[in-house]
Structure 1
Amino acid sequence: MNASRRAAGPRASRRRTTGLGIALSSLSLALAASAGALGAVSLRVARTVVRPAGRVPDTRIVRLDAAAQTITLERTPDTVLPGRYGLFTVGSADYLRLGAVVGSDEATVTRKLLTHVPADGDLAPEAAFSGWYYDRPEQLHLPMEAVDITTDVGPCPAWEFPAEADTDVWVIQVHGRGTTRAEALRAVPVFHDLGITSLVVSYRNDGDAPRSPSGTYALGATEWRDLDAAIGYARRQGARHVVVMGWSMGGALALQAAFESSHADVIAGLVLESPVVDWRTVLRFQGRMLRLPAPVIALAQSAIRTPWGATVLRSGEPIPLDRLDGVARAAELRHPILILHSDDDGFVPSDASHALAGARPDLVTMETFEVARHTKLWNYDETRWAGAIREWVRARGLTRD
């Protein structure tokens, strides 16, 4: 697409979802009345859940104005959000940073470009809208060292951002499903300003870390061990207080570490951003959004958690959805938790987060947003988001000030 040229193709009339929802949306078209068809669709749903997938386009570029350095996108619940975002594209610039909305109508949204695009720039019309904003660690302009965390699947690469002064307080950032560790870079400056060392980690099958034997997601049931290894690494480097911050599925890993880690004594608390607290809640929500019959989702859950399903899905071992239910296991929690979640998440519903806060009001602080969508709370209201984290960290006595 050349500057000021319109992208070919229809405008926005399609339902928009993200990640897992996009991958599942085509399945609703395949439904038939027979039990056999329902079973086949259920297995396709289960495979979609456990199979790692690349980034799925969810946004259409309508126009690029290189002279004005603006980009016009198809209007969706995400592209209309205020704040700073990112856009994964195909063309002369692979990743663009987007600024404020400067114009909109019923079909489109025009945003300021914060990444320069040359006048002869050419972009394919399909793109992926993102809350990342930063896609490389050097964009933070902070000291950083690339390190490897030894795990039972091999070395998992991580970025270590040391605090300005010696400290025994660390935060470990854990990204979500279908993304990489760059997702968590937004949080590093907040903790750096608090005098805390940040470790931004990868885990098995995420595209940065090694593959497991099955090459499939276990939705946190095995991936938490890579997080546990990272906590052990931080401990050997002098950490005595470790905050674990989990984004989306990273929240499931963080909770599993709180339940299972051999290093639980150094975990000072959890910060959960748009977290998966219970996978069954997420799957039911996605099923309702896509108008899939309840039996399809129930059978998909059965395939995920049973030996016969593990065989069919080639996922190695059954995934214990009961063990991954943070609400059901709330009585086992011992660490303070800050949950940041939008009630308009659109992908991971906030129901389980609210349920966990209700089950453990002695431990859980819930900061509820609206409109902000999934893992885009920083982008939508950085001041409030960062302020909630700072207040919670200071209340735990984890800063020098």
Structure 2
Amino acid sequence: MVVSRRAAMRGASPALVAGVKGALTVLSVALAGTLALLAAGSVRMARKVVTPAGRVPDTRILSLDTAAQTITLSRTSDTELPGRYGLFTTGTADYVKLGSVLSESETSVTRKLLTHVGTDARLAPDAAFSGWYFDRPEQLHLPFTSELIGATVGPCPAWLFPAGDGDVWVIQVHGRGTTRAECLRAVPLFHSLGITSLVVSYRNDGEAPRSRAGAYTLGATEWRDVDAAVGFARRRGARRIIVMGWSMGGAIALQLSLNSAHTDAIAGLILESPVVDWRIVLEYQARAQRVPSAVSGLAIEALKSEWASPLTRTGGGIPFDRLDVVARAAELRHPILILHSDDDGFVPSDASHDLVVARPDLVELEVFDVARHTKLWNYDQARWSDSIRSWLDARGVTSALAGAED
């Protein structure tokens, strides 16, 4: 004879019934608590992705030798890299340039200082390692003017470095959490090729105006500010425009290529360590920070959703499908050069490789190793420059400039 669960419970002792109900209550509370923790964690992650933030220290100054002009830093995957870099500091200097590694141990790296630091210098221990190298346009010793680009969000500051006859321009787009100074190291190369450089800002980057929500949309709206810069360049005489994007600036450049009304003037894209698919990047960073996949998955879903925007403070859903350029590869129409390191450490190169496979007719990938995120110029300036120069020459850009000069 089969006895129903309800009947069995009716025949059970009061103590057993109370025990079962208590266990169910505990399980329910535990489940609710777990879900609440997952939800809270996902909201925190989502906000972190789209909220413009200041520079976060990632190394420590262990010692400073002003006589020898050397500095010793805690060892990280970045501070041990060969090449020339910068260091954001606080104290008597806010930024110093760094040269080659002179010595290293398991925990520290000593590098040559390329910015003179006086004997009275006082620098706080916490510092941030940088690939910028140049942090002000005056350091390039090239003529430039400060401009304002009339975007829909308001006037966006830019630096204009004229070169050649003004027919060919490159518009430089910086990445997430940085400013336009990130792009300065590319200007001398383009200037030597007779290409005018316009180094731009965009909404919520700390220099351009703030949007209503004050949050990044990961390229979904920022491209409009760069599109305004393309219009500015055309009014100033540009006939062929290269758009160069760094990191998230690569995502912005790709959205510009797909959506701009000035598509006929865009001669191609150069992407340095670019974001090609945000979901791959966010999942990679979550794993690197040991964030549970359930939390990162919920964070992405929250960012996608209109209903969650009051919690994520995005002002609307992030269109991850539109930002996935591998999936939209058939829509691409401009030649693209990608410079990406397989050892990037922040934006994995997987999607860059996938884009070449999807559009080998348009996309060329120059693969680096050892070099870290947006630090390819710093690690191997000669190869980085030769890659860009050769690609421009193959597109007929540099040869046309040489002909114009003749």
**What's the TM-score, normalizing by structure 2?**
0.90
Q: Does 2:211 match 1:212?
A: yes
Q: Specify the alignment match of 1:78 in structure 2.
A: 78
**What pairs with 1:73-152 in structure 2 (closer than 5 Å)?**
73-152=73-152
Q: Specify the alignment match of 2:197 in structure 1.
A: 198
Gap runs ≥5 in structure 1: 1-31
Q: Specify the alignment match of 1:188 in structure 2.
A: 187
Specify which structure has the higher proportion of helix: 2
SS, match of residue 323 in structure 1: helix
How many residues were matched structurally?
369
Letter of the aligned partner of 2:252 in structure 1?
Answer: L
- C-alpha distance in structure 1 between counterparts of 2:80 and 2:33, whole Å: 38
**1:33: how far off?**
7.7
Gap runs ≥5 in structure 2: 1-31
Q: Specify the alignment match of 1:235 in structure 2.
A: 234
SS, match of residue 76 in structure 2: coil
- C-alpha distance in structure 1 between counterparts of 2:308 and 2:168, whole Å: 42
Letter of the aligned partner of 2:83 in structure 1?
Answer: G
CA-to-aligned-CA distance 1:37-67 (integer Å, 9 cap, x gap) = 0111001000000110000000100000000
CA-to-aligned-CA distance 1:367-391 (integer Å, 9 cap, x gap) = 0000100000000000000000000
Letter of the aligned partner of 1:123 in structure 2?
Answer: L
Letter of the aligned partner of 1:78 in structure 2?
Answer: D
Q: Does 2:171 match 1:172?
A: yes
**What pairs with 1:224-303 in structure 2 (closer than 5 Å)?**
224-303=223-302
Q: Specify the alignment match of 1:389 in structure 2.
A: 388
- C-alpha distance in structure 1 between counterparts of 2:308 and 2:51, whole Å: 13
SS, match of residue 97 in structure 1: strand
Q: Specify the alignment match of 1:348 in structure 2.
A: 347
- C-alpha distance in structure 1 between counterparts of 2:43 and 2:311, whole Å: 8
**1:228: how far off?**
0.3
Q: Specify the alignment match of 1:44 in structure 2.
A: 44
- C-alpha distance in structure 2 between counterparts of 1:33 and 1:100, whole Å: 51
Letter of the aligned partner of 2:88 in structure 1?
Answer: F
**1:311: how far off?**
2.0
Q: Specify the alignment match of 1:12 in structure 2.
A: none
- C-alpha distance in structure 1 between counterparts of 2:136 and 2:224, whole Å: 25
**1:294: how far off?**
1.2
**1:227: how far off?**
0.5
- C-alpha distance in structure 1 between counterparts of 2:92 and 2:286, whole Å: 37
CA-to-aligned-CA distance 1:121-154 (integer Å, 9 cap, x gap) = 1110000000000000010000101000001111
Q: Specify the alignment match of 2:53 in structure 1.
A: 53
Letter of the aligned partner of 1:303 in structure 2?
Answer: A
Letter of the aligned partner of 2:295 in structure 1?
Answer: V
- C-alpha distance in structure 2 between counterparts of 1:118 and 1:94, whole Å: 14
- C-alpha distance in structure 2 between counterparts of 1:395 and 1:381, whole Å: 21
- C-alpha distance in structure 2 between counterparts of 1:111 and 1:46, whole Å: 37
SS, match of residue 322 in structure 1: helix
Larger Rg computed on CA atoms: 2
Letter of the aligned partner of 1:122 in structure 2?
Answer: R
Q: Specify the alignment match of 1:314 in structure 2.
A: 313
**1:167: how far off?**
2.9
Letter of the aligned partner of 1:300 in structure 2?
Answer: A
Q: Specify the alignment match of 2:7 in structure 1.
A: none
Letter of the aligned partner of 1:47 in structure 2?
Answer: R
CA-to-aligned-CA distance 1:184-211 (integer Å, 9 cap, x gap) = 0010011111110000000000011000
- C-alpha distance in structure 2 between counterparts of 1:123 and 1:198, whole Å: 34
- C-alpha distance in structure 1 between counterparts of 2:33 and 2:338, whole Å: 41
- C-alpha distance in structure 1 between counterparts of 2:270 and 2:68, whole Å: 39
**What's the TM-score, normalizing by structure 1?**
0.91
SS, match of residue 283 in structure 2: helix
SS, match of residue 307 in structure 1: coil
The structure 1 segments of at least 4 consecutive aligned residues displaced by more than 3 Å after TM superposition are none
Q: Specify the alignment match of 1:304 in structure 2.
A: 303
SS, match of residue 321 in structure 2: coil
Letter of the aligned partner of 2:77 in structure 1?
Answer: P
- C-alpha distance in structure 2 between counterparts of 1:312 and 1:97, whole Å: 40
Q: Specify the alignment match of 1:11 in structure 2.
A: none
Q: Specify the alignment match of 1:156 in structure 2.
A: 156
- C-alpha distance in structure 2 between counterparts of 1:83 and 1:168, whole Å: 34
CA RMSD of aligned residues (A): 1.0
Q: Does 2:329 match 1:330?
A: yes
**1:291: how far off?**
1.8
Q: Percent same amino acid among aligned pairs?
A: 69
